[in-house]
Amino acid sequence: MIKRWILVIIGIMGIVAVLSFVGNANAKTIYVGPGEEYTSIQDAIDNATDGDVIIVRDGIYYENIKVTKERLTIKSENGSDNCIIDGGDRNRSSVIVLKANGTTIEGFTIRNSFTGIEVLSYSNNIMYNNISNNGGDGIWLWASDNNNIAYNNISNNGYAIWIEESNNNNIAYNKILKNGGSIWIELSNNNRVTFNDISNNEEGVSVIFSFHNSIMKNNFINNGWQAFFFASSQNRWLRNYWDNWKIILPRPIFGLFWVISTPSESGVAIPIPWVNFDWFPAMRPYNIDY
């Protein structure tokens, strides 16, 4: 009987593997650009099927894009210096909206809208992009989990990355420079912020009503304020480099915590000064390059 169940399980696993292979084998590659069947990225997305690869030729594309097909890979042919998506108005809309899960956005300059990339789905990859000159956020995660945001240059936006009600995201190896604010984490848990170069922003990292996030091995250089938290606990600050902390002692991170004045339902929440620590701050900046 046990052997029979083992054989059934192995058979099911084999069927799943074959179906997965067939799905990948049926994926097609679509090219976008002058002389191609599709000259706009949105047209290519609308005519794609789940799992397809869209490669965008060099040029400037004046578009506001919505991704509604699952597991698409949308990438430039020759990198972000050569392929630009321009939203047309930095005070409204988004250049790219991700509504489908498992999307990869790779190798673009994304500029000139209110939000560069608006993420409303799960398990996406946003990599090797130059996201700049957006009036609001460079990247906005809203109720969006398990995303990977890595190896991007994010500059001259209202906020570089805004994370709201979003969990288990990985923010790594980004260069976050000259924004109004760098990373805002609100009502979001278990996110990892590691090996980012956070420099010359008006605000550094802010953690608001959030728990169990890790902020580790980043460079904090010449930001208006480096880090702040409000009504948040059990977040881990560790081995970051702080250009305004030159001694081998824990680096304090100041914030506010709420204390309830009375245990009854009519109690008043009073904010009081609180402190977290980066217990082992780095003494030299990390070489964050790619």
Judge whether 147 lies within some domain: no
Domains contained in the chain, number = 2
pLDDT in tens, 6-48: 444 444 444 434 344 444 558 899 999 999 999 999 999 999 9
Judge whether 153 lies within some domain: no
Range from 47-61, 178-192, 208-222, 264-278 carrying the lowest mean pLDDT? 264-278
Task: Output the pLDDT for position 9.
Answer: 42
Q: Looking at the structure, tell me whether residues 117 and 168 fall in a common domain.
A: no
Contact of 151 with 125, CB cutoff 8 Å: no
Query: Among residues 108, 180, 185, 183, which one has the least CA distance to residue 144?
Result: 185
Q: Looking at the structure, tell me whether residues 116 and 25 fall in a common domain.
A: yes
Bridge partners, 148 (sequence order)? 125, 170
Q: DSSP of 145-208, one letter per residue?
A: -S-EEES-EEESSSEEEEEES--S-EEES-EEES-SEEEEEES--S-EEES-EEES-SEEEEEE
Of 87, 113, 142, the residue that ends a domain is 142
Q: Looking at the structure, tell me whether residues 12 and 62 fall in a common domain.
A: yes
Q: Looking at the structure, tell me whether residues 118 and 167 fall in a common domain.
A: no
Residue 66 has pLDDT above 90, yes or no: yes
Judge whether 152 lies within some domain: no
Query: Among residues 101, 30, 109, 112, which one has the least CA distance to residue 64?
Result: 112
Of 108, 142, 176, the residue that ends a domain is 142
- Work out the percent of the chain whose per-residue pLDDT is above 70: 89
Q: Looking at the structure, tell me whether residues 137 and 169 fall in a common domain.
A: no
Which one is predicted more confidently, 260 or 140?
140
Residue 215 has pLDDT above 90, yes or no: yes
pLDDT in tens, 250-285: 999 999 988 765 555 666 778 899 999 999 999 999
Q: How far apart, in whole angstroms, are the C-alpha atoms of residue 117 and residue 125?
A: 11
Q: Which CATH number does the domain housing residue 20 bear?
A: 2.160.20.10
Judge whether 148 lies within some domain: no
Q: Is 6 helix (H, G, I), strand (E, B) or coil?
A: helix
Query: How far lies 117's CA from each of 95, 103, 200, 227, in Å?
Result: 6, 12, 22, 24
Residue 242 has pLDDT above 60, yes or no: yes
Q: Looking at the structure, tell me whether residues 124 and 224 fall in a common domain.
A: no
Task: Output the pLDDT for position 22.
Answer: 43
Q: Looking at the structure, tell me whether residues 245 and 124 fall in a common domain.
A: no
- Domain range for 281 is 158-290
Residue 134 has pLDDT above 90, yes or no: yes
The structure tokens 């990948």 sit at 24
Q: Looking at the structure, tell me whether residues 3 and 124 fall in a common domain.
A: yes
Of 117, 142, 167, the residue that ends a domain is 142
- With residue 20 as reference, give the H or E element that holds it: helix 2-26
Judge whether 151 lies within some domain: no
Q: Looking at the structure, tell me whether residues 87 and 42 fall in a common domain.
A: yes
Structure confidence at residue 290 as a pLDDT band (50, 70, 90): confident
Q: Which residues contact 269 (CB under 8 A, 6 or more apart)?
A: 258, 259, 260, 261
